[in-house]
Structure 1
Amino acid sequence: MPAQQADERTRLLRHNSPINSRNERASNGRPNGNTNRNSDDDDEDDAELVQFEEGDNENPRNWSLFWKYIQVFLVFIVGLILPMASSIWSPGISEIASDYNTNNQLVTGSQTGFVCMLGIGPLFFAPMSETFGRRIVFLVNLTLFTLFQIPTALAPNIETFVVMRTLGGLFGSVGVANGGGSISDMFETHERATVLGFYLLGPLLGPTLGPFLGGIILARFHWRWVFGFTCVISAVVTFTCFFLLHETCAPIILEQRKKKLQNENEGKSFKVEGQSDMGLMQKIGGNSTRATKILFQQPIVLVMSAYQALVFSTMYSLYTDYSKIWSSPPYNFSKSQVGLSYLAPATGFVLTACIIVPFIDRVYNRLAQTHNNGKGKPEYRLPLANIGAVFLPVSLFWFSWTVEYGKPWPVALSAMLLFGASQVSIFNCVQNYYIDAFESMAASALAAGAFLRSIVGGVVPLFTPMLIEQVGYGWGLSVFGIVATVLMPAPLLFFRYGARLRERFAVNL
C-alpha cells in the first residue's frame, strides 16, 4: 500500500502536486497580512492548512513506480474492456435482428445508445471523480456495468435489448472518464506522455478487439454468450480493482487526512486548499458543467474533439459494415475470418504506439528547450499528430476504393493498418494536449473530447449503411476521407497559434 502512517500535523509544507495555491502564504502555511478581518475570516485563517510535504508517501506522485504501474495497468484494463463491449457483438448484428424479428438498423441503434453514453457519462463521472474520488466512481460504475450485462444477455425483445445496452454504455463510460485523470494524478508533465500512450491503447483497441473476440464466440455459440463473456470478464476486473485500485486524486486524499486530523484534535480546525463545504447537489451542479464549458468555450478543444469525432464515426461506421464487406463476394470470409480482419487496425495501433508514443515526451522536451527556455507548452504535444492527420485520409480513400473495385483482401487490410496508425497518432497527442492545458481538471477536459466524439461516433453509423447503399463503398466512405482532408491542417495550425487562442478564449472554471 503506497500510503503510510505519518504525523500528518507536520505535513503542511507545499509540494508540487495537483493542488494549486491561489494565495501567497507564509512558511507556516497560514495567510500573511490583512488585519481587517471579521470573526469568520479569522476562524478560516486560523485553520491549519493540510498539504503534502516534500517526499510525502501519500502523495500519488511520490508512490513507487511499482504501485504507479499497477494503477496504470488497472485503468488500462478498464479502458480496454468497457469500450470493447461497444462493438463485441457487431459480427452478430444479422443474427440478433433475425431473433428479434427486426431490421439491422434498429439493432445498430443499441450501439448508438451505448456509444453516445460513452460520451455523456464522462460529463458527470469525470467531475464527480474530482469531487468524490476516482476509486469510488470506478468501483460503483464497474459493478453496475457488470450487472447490466445479465439483462442484456437475457433480453426478451429488441426494446429491452436497446435499453439495457444504453444503460451499460452509461456505466461503461467510467473507463473513458477516469483513466486520463488518474494518470495525471500520478505523473509529472514531462513523464506523462508515454504512460498515457499505453493507457490510451485500451480505449482505442477495445472497439477493435471486441469484434475479433465476438467473431470467435459467434462461430461456436449463440450471440447471447457474447454478453455472458462480457459479464464474466468485467466481473473479474471489478473484483481485482476492489483490492488493488487505490485513490489517486490528491484533494480527496488530503480531505481524508483532514478528517482524521479533526477527529484526533478536537477544537482545532483544518482545511484543504481549494476544497469547499458545498452540499452534494451544489457540487454536482457546478462540476457537471466543467466539461461542457471547456468544449464549447475553447476553440482548440472543440476543433480537435471534432477531429476525434470524425475518427470515431468512421471507425464505428466501418465496423458496423465490416461483416457485410468481408462475408460478401468477392471475399466470402467465414465468421472467424471476419473476426480476424479486425486485427489489421489493431496491428496498426500497436505498431504505431511503439514508434510514436515514446517520442511524444522527447519532442515536447526538445521544443521546450529550443523555443521556450526549457518551459513546456501544451501545444508542444501536437506535432506528431500531423502523422495521423496525413494517414487518416490516405487510409480512407485507399480502403474505400479498394473495396469498391473488389481488389485482393491484403490490399484492403493494408489500408486498415494505416487507419489504426492514424488513430493512435491523433488520439495520443490530443489527449496529452488536453491534460497539459487543463491539468487540475484533466478528467473534465478529457470528458469534453469524449462527449463530442462519442455522440457523433454513435449517431453517424445509423446513416452510413443507407449512404453506402445509395452510392457504394467508394464514394460512401470517401465522404469521411474528404472531411479528414479538410481537418488535416488543424494540428499544425494549433501548434503555431494555439497559445494565443488559449489566452484569448480562456475558460473560467
Structure 2
Amino acid sequence: MRTPHVERGATPVNVAGTGGHARRSTVTTHERIDVLLSLPGRSPEVTIDDTDVSERKHPHDEEKGAAKLQQEQSFEESSEETTYVEFEEGDPSNPANFSYARKWAITLAVSFFSLIAASSSAAYALGFPSMTRDLNATQFEATLGLSMWALALALVPLWSTSFSEEFGRQPVYIVSGVGSVLMHLMVALAQNIQTVIIGRFLGGAFGSTAAAMVGGTIADIWAPSERGLPMSVFAIMIMAGPGLGCVASGWIEQNPHLHWRWIQWIHVIFYGIFLVTFPLVMRETRPGVLLKRTAKKLRKKTGNMHYRARVEDQIPSLATLMYISCTRAIYLLLTEPVVAAFSVWAGFAWGILFVLVESIGPAFRSVHNFSTGEVGSVFASMIAGCIVGEFIQIYQEKLYAKYYPTKGPEARLFSACLAAVLFPAGMFIYAWCTFPSVPWIGMAMGIFVIMTSLFNIYVAVFTYLADCYGVFASSALAGQSLSRNLMGAIFPLFSEQMFSKLTYHWGNTLFACIATLMIPIPFALYWKGPAIRARSKFASQVIHK
C-alpha cells in the first residue's frame, strides 16, 4: 500500500518510539482539509499589528520590538501548524509491509471465519426434519430461519462496516465472533421455533462481517498485483462453504443421537477455535486507524495537540459515515445502470442458490428416495463447481492482463459472459433430470454447472464494479449486496409452494427461462460499458489507465 499523500511544504519531524513518521504541514489547523467533510473551523488567526513598532524612534526599542515581533510570529506559525503522522518507508508497523507469512496467516484466519459463516448459513436447512418434529413447527416456519440469515446479510453491512473505520478491523472481527458463538448457542438451546428465527437473524447479523469486511482486510495488506490468489481463497471459502456445511450436516442430521441441535453445536466449536486462534495471528490492518492511534499517543506524550492523523481531519463522524454508507449504496443501486443491472442478475442467481439449499433435500428424497445423509453428500457437487469456477477465474485473470489496456474494466467480463450461458444451462439440466427414470447424477451435474456459473458471477460482480467505481466501489458493492441477499431471503419463502404446484420439473424450468432472459446483461455491459460509464456521475470520475 502506498504511503499516504503528503501536502506540499510538509517537513519531516523525527518521532522516536512511535512506530510512525510525523510530517509538519504548511496547512494551518483552521483551514478546511476537505470541502465536504471538514472539521469545524478553529478560532481565526490573531493578526499582529506592527504599527506601534514602526513608529518607535529609539533604535534599541525598535530592535527589541522587531525581535519580539519575530518571536511572536515564529510562535504563532509553530503553534498553528498541523503535524501529520505517517508511515515511514519500509515501516514494519504498516500493514502493507507485514511479512509474507503474517499476511497469509491473516488471510487464512479471516477466510476461515468466512468459511464457518457460509457453512452455517446453509447447513441449518439440513436439520429441518428433526427441527420441525422437535419444535412442532411447520416447514415454512423452519424456512424463515434460512431467510432471516440472508435478510441480516442484506441489511446489517449497510451500516456495520463503518465501525471498522472508527475502531479498526480487529475488534470488529472479535465482537462478531463472540456474537456468532452466542447466537448459535441460542439456536442450539431453543425450545421453540420463534427463538430459532430470532437467533438466526442475529447470527446472520454477526456473521455478515465475514462477507462484508474480509475483502477490505485483504486489500489492506496485499498490493493490487498480489491480491489475485488471496481473493480467490476468500471466494472459494465463501462460495464452497454452503456445500461443505451441508455435506457434514446431512450425516449429522441422520445420526439419531445428534440431529439438528448438533449442527449448531459443531459450528459453536469451530467459532470457538476461530476466537482462540484469531488473536494469535491477527494484527490491526486498517492504516488510518493505526496512524490515528499513533497520533493520539503523541498528543498524550508531548502535550502537543497538533499531532494528527489525516483520517481525523478527512473522515467524518461515525454517525455521518453510517448515514453515507446506507444512503449512497441505495442511491447507486437505484440510479446507476451498471450497478442495477448487475444487482438484478447477481440477486436472481443468489436467490437460486438459497432455493437449492432449501429444496435439494426434498427433491432428492421424493425423486430418488435419498436418505438425509445421502442428500448431504449431493452438496459435494457445489464444492466441485466452485473449484472448477476458480480454474476459470485463473484463466480470466490472464485474459484481463492481456486485454485491459484496450478494453478497460470490461476485460473483467469474459468469465461473466461464460457464466451467463452456463447458468440457465445448469438450471435446464437440473430441471429435466428430476424424474425417477433419470439417474441421480443428472441432477447433481446440473447443480455442479449452476455452482460453476454462480462462482464466476460472484467474482465478476465484485471485480468489475470495483474497477468501474474506484473510490465509490464500496457503496456500489454494498448496493448489489443488498439486492443479492434480499433475493436470497425472499426466494426460499415461495419456492416450496411453487414446487408443490408446478413440480420440481416445471418450477426449475421456469427459473431456467428467467435465467435465459438475463444472458444479455454481461454481453451488453461488455459492448456498451464504456458509453454507460461515461454518462455516470460516479463512474465517469474514475480514470482507467
Question: Into which bin does the TM-score normalised by the smaller protein fall?
Answer: 0.7 to 0.9
- Alignment match, 2:395: 359
Give the secondary structure class of the aligned counterpart of 1:173. Answer: helix
Tell me, yes or no, if structure 1 residue 223 matches structure 2 residue 260.
yes
- Alignment match, 1:101: 136
Q: For residues 152 and 446 of structure 1, do their structure 2 counterparts lie closer, same or farther at Cα, with a shift above 3 Å needed? A: same
Q: For residues 147 and 494 of structure 1, do their structure 2 counterparts lie closer, same or farther at Cα, with a shift above 3 Å needed? A: same
- How big is each residue's C-alpha offset from its partner over 1:286-313, in whole Å with a ceiling of 9 and x where there is no partner? 4443433443343212221222211211
Instruction: Say if 2:124 and 2:146, in contact at 8 Å, map to a contact too.
Output: no
Instruction: Say if 1:388 and 1:422, in contact at 8 Å, map to a contact too.
Output: yes
- Alignment match, 1:4: none
Choose the corresponding residue for 2:2, options 16, 23, 29. 16
- Alignment match, 1:261: 298
Q: For residues 418 and 501 of structure 1, do their structure 2 counterparts lie closer, same or farther at Cα, with a shift above 3 Å needed? A: same
Q: For residues 364 and 241 of structure 1, do their structure 2 counterparts lie closer, same or farther at Cα, with a shift above 3 Å needed? A: same
Instruction: Say if 1:212 and 1:343, in contact at 8 Å, map to a contact too.
Output: yes
Tell me, yes or no, if structure 1 residue 190 matches structure 2 residue 221.
no
Q: For residues 379 and 56 of structure 1, do their structure 2 counterparts lie closer, same or farther at Cα, with a shift above 3 Å needed? A: farther
**Number of aligned positions between the proteins:** 485
- How big is each residue's C-alpha offset from its partner over 1:215-246, in whole Å with a ceiling of 9 and x where there is no partner? 11112122111111111111111222122222
Q: For 1:267 and 1:143, how far apart are their aligned partners in 2?
A: 38
Give the secondary structure class of the aligned counterpart of 1:402. Answer: coil
- Alignment match, 1:350: 387
Choose the corresponding residue for 1:63, options 93, 98, 102. 98
| TM-score, with length taken from structure 2 | 0.82
- What letter corresponds to residue 194 of structure 1 in structure 2? L
Higher relative contact order (CA 8 A, sep 6+): 1
CA RMSD of aligned residues (A): 2.7
- Alignment match, 1:321: 359
Deviation at 1:441, TM superposition (A): 5.9
- What letter corresponds to residue 416 of structure 2 in structure 1? A
- Alignment match, 2:337: 299
Q: For 1:406 and 1:130, how far apart are their aligned partners in 2?
A: 57
- What letter corresponds to residue 243 of structure 2 in structure 1? T
Q: For residues 156 and 506 of structure 1, do their structure 2 counterparts lie closer, same or farther at Cα, with a shift above 3 Å needed? A: same
Q: For residues 405 and 36 of structure 1, do their structure 2 counterparts lie closer, same or farther at Cα, with a shift above 3 Å needed? A: closer
Tell me, yes or no, if structure 1 residue 142 matches structure 2 residue 142.
no
Long gaps (5+) in structure 1 = 1-14
Give the secondary structure class of the aligned counterpart of 2:156. Answer: helix
Q: For 1:257 and 1:499, how far apart are their aligned partners in 2?
A: 43
Instruction: Say if 2:427 and 2:508, in contact at 8 Å, map to a contact too.
Output: yes
- Alignment match, 2:513: 482
Deviation at 1:211, TM superposition (A): 1.5
Q: For 2:30 and 2:150, how far apart are their aligned partners in 1?
A: 55
Instruction: Say if 1:82 and 1:175, in contact at 8 Å, map to a contact too.
Output: yes
| TM-score, with length taken from structure 1 | 0.88
Q: For 1:267 and 1:35, how far apart are their aligned partners in 2?
A: 13
Deviation at 1:35, TM superposition (A): 13
Q: For 1:125 and 1:226, how far apart are their aligned partners in 2?
A: 27
Give the secondary structure class of the aligned counterpart of 1:47. Answer: strand
Q: For 1:449 and 1:35, how far apart are their aligned partners in 2?
A: 39
Deviation at 1:179, TM superposition (A): 0.8
Instruction: Say if 2:296 and 2:308, in contact at 8 Å, map to a contact too.
Output: no
- Alignment match, 1:9: none
Instruction: Say if 1:177 and 1:446, in contact at 8 Å, map to a contact too.
Output: no
Percent identity at matched positions? 26
Choose the corresponding residue for 1:309, options 315, 340, 347. 347
Deviation at 1:440, TM superposition (A): 4.7
Choose the corresponding residue for 2:118, options 83, 94, 113. 83
- How big is each residue's C-alpha offset from its partner over 1:474-508, in whole Å with a ceiling of 9 and x where there is no partner? 22112222222222222232233334433432349
- Alignment match, 2:480: 449
Deviation at 1:105, TM superposition (A): 0.9
Q: For 1:248 and 1:435, how far apart are their aligned partners in 2?
A: 20
- The 10-residue stretch of structure 1 (184-193 or 71-80) with the greater mean CA deviation from structure 2: 184-193
- Alignment match, 1:7: none
User: Highest CA radius of gyration, 1 or 2?
Assistant: 2
- The 10-residue stretch of structure 1 (436-445 or 451-460) with the greater mean CA deviation from structure 2: 436-445
- The 10-residue stretch of structure 1 (298-307 or 206-215) with the greater mean CA deviation from structure 2: 298-307
Give the secondary structure class of the aligned counterpart of 2:123. Answer: coil
- The 10-residue stretch of structure 1 (481-490 or 355-364) with the greater mean CA deviation from structure 2: 355-364
- Alignment match, 1:340: 377
Q: For residues 367 and 265 of structure 1, do their structure 2 counterparts lie closer, same or farther at Cα, with a shift above 3 Å needed? A: farther
Instruction: Say if 1:310 and 1:480, in contact at 8 Å, map to a contact too.
Output: no
Instruction: Say if 1:112 and 1:458, in contact at 8 Å, map to a contact too.
Output: yes
- Alignment match, 1:12: none
Q: For 1:48 and 1:390, how far apart are their aligned partners in 2?
A: 56
Deviation at 1:129, TM superposition (A): 1.9
